[in-house]
């Protein structure tokens, strides 16, 4: 196609000839393009005709399960699984039982050890007390033989203070004297070595104490040697 400027410069006859030639060229080009496209379309049509149509596979219809059959199978399977515990659960139960047994044995061992320790401690105190008490008896005999003037002496005063200190220490560790004089005779605490007829006192009353007795935590370390009135 000619532009407006080209049309102005060229004469009218030449302008018409050129436009006609341009239209013919455009039509010829269009026909060539159409001819080139047709064989491809025909080849594609032939190719599509040669290829067989692939039919879609028929979907198999699912089998209809009988009502209640599937649920019954699932129930029995779950029951079998419940009846057969996993190996891991068995191992856990076994270890738990072993742990409980070990803890129970350890607790029994601890209690038994504490009792044995307390028993050995008590035996040690009783053994020491049995060896010290004769010394305390000698202090008591020595002090009992002193007069009031002799007790005022510095040496006697030192003996009395030493005796008092020993008795205080014995009480601190649980060794306490048994009260016997003027008390009813008790065979669990007293050892009667003499009997006397005395109507001025009640029957089975301790009227004299020869050797003082001691207890440790409620148990007798040494019985009191006493004289009892009938």
Round to whole Å and give the CA distance between 122 and 216.
Answer: 8
Structure confidence at residue 199 as a pLDDT band (50, 70, 90): confident
- Whole-model pTM: value is 0.51
What pLDDT, in 10s, does the model give residues 108-129? 999 999 988 888 888 888 888 8
Does residue 164 belong to any structural domain of this protein?
Answer: no
Exposure letters 45-63 (e unless 16+ CB within 10 A, then b): eeeeeeeeeeeeeeeeeee
- At 196, which CATH number? 2.30.22.10
Does residue 68 belong to any structural domain of this protein?
Answer: no
Does residue 212 belong to any structural domain of this protein?
Answer: yes
Q: What average pLDDT does the chain have?
A: 77
Round to whole Å and give the CA distance between 220 and 209.
Answer: 16
Does residue 16 belong to any structural domain of this protein?
Answer: yes
Whether the Cβ atoms of residue 140 and residue 179 lie closer than 8 Å to each other: no
Does residue 158 belong to any structural domain of this protein?
Answer: no
Does residue 93 belong to any structural domain of this protein?
Answer: no
Does residue 202 belong to any structural domain of this protein?
Answer: yes
Per cent of the chain over pLDDT 90 is: 30
Least confident window among 52-61, 116-125, 149-158, 172-181: 52-61
Structure confidence at residue 105 as a pLDDT band (50, 70, 90): very high
Q: How many angstroms from the chain centroid is the CA of residue 98? A: 15
Tally of domains in the chain:
2
Does residue 187 belong to any structural domain of this protein?
Answer: yes
Least confident window among 4-8, 158-162, 175-179: 4-8
Contacts of 194 (CB under 8 A, 6+ apart): 208, 226, 227, 228
Tell me which residue range forms the domain holding 199.
176-230
Q: What pLDDT shows up at residue 185?
A: 92
Highest mean pLDDT among 37-46, 82-91, 221-230: 221-230
Q: What pLDDT shows up at residue 228?
A: 92
Exposure letters 130-162 (e unless 16+ CB within 10 A, then b): eeebeebeebeeeeeeeeeeeeeeeebeebeee
Structure confidence at residue 202 as a pLDDT band (50, 70, 90): confident
Q: What pLDDT shows up at residue 218?
A: 83
Whether the Cβ atoms of residue 184 and residue 177 lie closer than 8 Å to each other: no
Contacts of 122 (CB under 8 A, 6+ apart): 216, 217
What number of H helices and E strands is found in the chain?
Answer: 6, 6
């Amino acid at each position: 196609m000619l532009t407006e400027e080209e049309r102005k410069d060229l004469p009218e006859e030449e302008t018409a000839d050129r436009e006609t030639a341009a239209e013919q060229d455009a039509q010829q080009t269009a026909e060539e393009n159409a001819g080139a496209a047709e064989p491809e379309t025909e080849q594609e049509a032939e190719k599509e005709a040669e290829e067989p149509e692939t039919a879609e596979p028929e979907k198999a219809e699912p089998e209809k399960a009988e009502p209640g059959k599937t649920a019954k199978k699932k129930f029995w399977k779950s029951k079998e699984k419940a009846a057969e515990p996993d190996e891991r659960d068995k191992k856990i139960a076994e270890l738990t039982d072993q742990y409980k047994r070990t803890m129970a044995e350890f607790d029994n061992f601890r209690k038994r050890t504490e009792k044995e320790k307390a028993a050995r401690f008590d035996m040690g105190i009783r053994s020491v007390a049995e060896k010290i008490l004769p010394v305390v008896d000698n202090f008591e005999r020595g002090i009992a033989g002193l007069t009031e003037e002799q007790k005022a002496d510095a040496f006697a005063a030192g003996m009395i203070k030493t005796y008092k200190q020993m008795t205080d220490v014995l009480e601190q560790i649980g060794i306490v004297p048994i009260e016997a004089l003027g008390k009813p005779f008790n065979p669990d605490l007293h050892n009667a070595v003499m009997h006397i007829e005395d109507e001025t006192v009640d029957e089975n009353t301790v009227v004299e104490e020869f050797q003082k007795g001691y207890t440790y935590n409620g148990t007798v370390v040494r019985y009191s040697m006493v004289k009892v009135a009938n």
